[in-house]
Structure 1
Amino acid sequence: MIIQALYAGKPQAFGPRQKPSSIIKTPHDQLTIELDGALEDEQGNKKLHGGPEMALHQYSLESYAVLQKRFPEIADKLTPGSIGENISAPDMNDENVYIGDTYEIGDVVIQVNSPRAPCVKINQRYKTKNVDVFVAQKGITGWYFRVLETGTIKVGDQMKLVHRLQNTKSVKDIIRLVRDKDKDLHARLIAAEIPALAKEWVSKLKKF
């Protein structure tokens, strides 16, 4: 997979309460990747975003098409980069990306560790209700990476899948298991043992 676009943002007043947020990002030709994320990408709320377990976010290009079909009135706003991701690349989605998938991008090594938990800022971003609910229901949240090796990534770089865990789950599988709390209890406990899964999502899977 070839990186088509990279995005980063700075905190700015956002939403009805005008609290700092970095969901609005701009295109960058390259990003400097550190353990906490891209140097160029500062977080407005460090309690909920960023850090080693949410260092980088990728959103599927295919998911934008799904959103455009469901919300045609804002189709022109539902464009790559608008939901707050850092990385855009083709042929990757919540069904074919798995927890623990490890990618090399030049010298940089990153590992998928969790879905994104959609929040109300997505609705505020598009000035439309229930976008966050739809994203969660459809399991098109995108995913977070942790950084294993730091360095610089550029538009046009290849994302090379170098390792996939055995007995892992797709990003969409994890979302489904967390949402269906009264079903597949055994499957939830098994998924909670995936070694690469972020602790926050391990806790969600074990919460009955």
Structure 2
Amino acid sequence: MSSTFTVNALFAGKPQPLGPRGAPSSIVKSAVDSLTVHIDCTEEDEQANKRLHGGPEKVLHQFNPTNYLTLRKHFPEGDFSSGSIGENISVDGMDDATVYIGDIWKFGDVELQVSAPRAPCNKISQRFDIPNLDRFVGERGITGWYYRVVKTGKINVGDPVTLLHREDNTVNVHTLMQCAHTKTDSALADMLAKLDVLDDEWREKCRKISNKANSGNR
């Protein structure tokens, strides 16, 4: 497998007040030249709510930059630009339909494994002051994805990005999000609930979808 992509941009942020209640959030990030990646965090990026963000299964978030074209088309009032939805990594050519759960990607010297989609929350809507924007992002399956760390080190802007490994039985990030939103494909949900490389939280979500769909068919 050869290097076919390049790190276009990296972003990091610190907690700051967001929304009408001023709840702390790190969704607002700034461009940085590099990220120092540890097994459960980066030195440059901090999470405000560590129950929902960060930790060993959500160390880094990547978002396809072309998804901003979709957001601008449907919400022209929004100030959308690379990094503004809270991602850490931006790479042209990698998207929710071509990146699979369990993929191991090499960014320079760092190795990362796709652990789960991002579950869009209302911080996205508050960030852009657009009601239900988070719902739109989820329903369209343009959420981006989280990584767990396989090999620590430093990622730099301009580093090559290489796919090292892909699971035999898995799905792309977009398919998983569609399953989570439609809640009708019990067979797929059941398969995902047993997918070891998917993080525990999402496997439990899929198990509940499968159980609910099967109970509705009885």
Counterpart of 1:187? 188
Counterpart of 2:216? none
**Is 1:104 aligned to 2:117, yes or no?**
no
Where structure 2 has 5 or more consecutive residues not aligned to the other structure, the ranges are 213-218
Candidates 17, 23, 38, aligned match of 1:19: 23
Counterpart of 1:198? 199
Aligned 8 A contact 2:14 2:26 in 1:
yes
SS at match of 1:32: strand
Counterpart of 2:137? 135
Query: Hey, what's the Cα distance between the residues in 1 that align with 2:155 and 2:94?
Result: 18
Moved over 6 A (4+): none
SS at match of 1:113: strand
The one-letter code matched in structure 2 to 1:52 is P
Percent pairwise identity = 49
Aligned 8 A contact 2:108 2:159 in 1:
yes
Q: Report the alpha carbon displacement of residue 37 of structure 1 after superposing the two structures with TM.
A: 2.4
Query: Hey, what's the Cα distance between the residues in 2 that align with 1:103 and 1:187?
Result: 25
TM-score where L is the length of structure 2: 0.92
Aligned-residue Cα RMSD (Å) equals: 0.9
Query: Hey, what's the Cα distance between the residues in 2 that align with 1:188 and 1:81?
Result: 31
Counterpart of 1:73? 77
SS at match of 2:112: strand
SS at match of 1:159: strand
Q: Report the alpha carbon displacement of residue 126 of structure 1 after superposing the two structures with TM.
A: 0.4
How many equivalent residue pairs? 205
Deviations 1:4-51 (A, max 9, x none): 000000111111111211000000000100111221101111111100
Candidates 7, 11, 27, aligned match of 1:3: 7
Query: Hey, what's the Cα distance between the residues in 2 that align with 1:153 and 1:103?
Result: 12
Counterpart of 2:63? 59
